[in-house]
Amino acid sequence: MSSYFGTIKRGAETVLGGLKITIEHFARATKRRMPLSVQDDTYFKQPLGLVTIQYPSEAIPTPPFSRYRLHNDAADCIACDQCARACPVQCITIKSFKATPDDLEELGTTSDGSKKKLWLEQFDIDMAKCMYCGYCTYPCPTECLTMTPVYDFSEFDRSNFIYHFGVLTKAKAEEKRAKLAKYEEEEKPRKRRHLNLLWALHEHHWLPKLLLQGQNLLQQLTHHPHQLMMHQSQCPNFHR
Ligand code: SF4
Ligand code: SF4
């Protein structure tokens, strides 16, 4: 009989012990967790109370050095292709072509003063393939490719994960490509004349002689600038 009542007593104590924990937690739950950044001093000092925050109306701020969605400030992109070559999963696709000399002004410069020479027809990043390693951002010479703190960009359609940063419309790209083709066609005779001239110089051994004379003069200027005037009359190449 005593063990019977002893069991009831233990059961009641266990239930009351459990309820005590629940009631204590319920009382503490009046203090709710704040959406503080991990950089905040009190971030790890909020162990009690409600831990759920009202996402998405509330969100824990990401630190400024977070590596989430990529962004390309295409106005600063010189289409050098270095980011695409650094990407280990090939999720960056770049298509570019040369601008004609009269378009260089329209193409402009980047914010750091670098001259742009290529039209950026296509610059696509497939964020569905990206593994957020950040390798593409390091070699970027103009620092236009960055990883932003934006982490919530879910989509229903995978194709929406391909971000397009190209600066030319299809029609404009076609127009500029046609212009470049025409320019290159017009330039062909001039290039051929230059090549013929270089070939003639090479054939008659003038080019090596000219290079040798230039090298001799450069050496004299570098090592004996004060003797240059004195030795000019004795130089075997000078009067040729
Ligand atoms: S973060 Fe890494 S995987 Fe993503 S595009 Fe850049 S290099 Fe490629
Ligand atoms: S490395 Fe930078 S400048 Fe070069 S293509 Fe990529 S984003 Fe553009």
Q: What is the 3-state secondary structure (H, E, C) of 7-70?
A: HHHHHHHHHHHHHHHHHHHHHHCCCECCCCCCCCCCHHHCCCCECCCCCCCCCCCCCCCCCCCE
| Residue of minimum CA distance from atom 7 in ligand 1 | 87
Q: Say whether pLDDT at 135 is over 50.
A: yes
Task: Tell me the one-letter amino acid at 232.
Answer: Q
**Looking at domain 70-171, which CATH architecture does it have?**
2-Layer Sandwich (3.30)
- Confidence check: pLDDT of 92 > 50: yes
Mutate to test the pocket of ligand 2, among 111, 138, 145, 164 (most ligand atoms within 8 A of CB): 145
Taking only Cα atoms into account, the Rg of the chain, rounded to an integer number of angstroms, comes to: 36
pLDDT tens for each residue of 6-31: 999 999 999 999 999 889 888 877 77
Compute the distance from residue 150 Cα to the ligand 2 centre, in Å. 20
Average pLDDT, the chain: 86
Other residues' Cβ atoms within 10 Å of the Cβ of residue 225: 9
Inform me whether the pLDDT recorded for 115 exceeds 70.
Answer: yes
- Expressed in angstroms and rounded, the spacing between residue 56 Cα and the centre of ligand 1 is 27
Phi-psi region of 132 (alpha: psi -120 to 50; beta: other; left: phi over 0): left
Q: How many CB atoms lie within 10 A of CB 60?
A: 14
Residue 204 has pLDDT above 70, yes or no: no
Instruction: Determine the pLDDT at residue 188.
Output: 85
> At 223, is the pLDDT very low, low, confident or very high (cuts 50, 70, 90)?
low
Please report which ligand is nearest the Cα atom of 132. 1
Strands (E) in 166-236, as ranges, are: none
Distance 167 CA to ligand 1 centre (A): 21
DSSP structure class, residue 115 = B
Q: Which mutation among 71, 72, 163 tests ligand 2's pocket best, with the greatest number of atoms within 8 A of CB?
A: 72
pTM of the model: 0.69
Q: Write out the two tokens for 148.
A: 């932003």
Contact in structure between 36 and 60 (CB atoms under 8 Å): yes
∠ CA 237-239-240, nearest 5°, is 65
Minimum CA distance residue for ligand 2 atom 6: 83
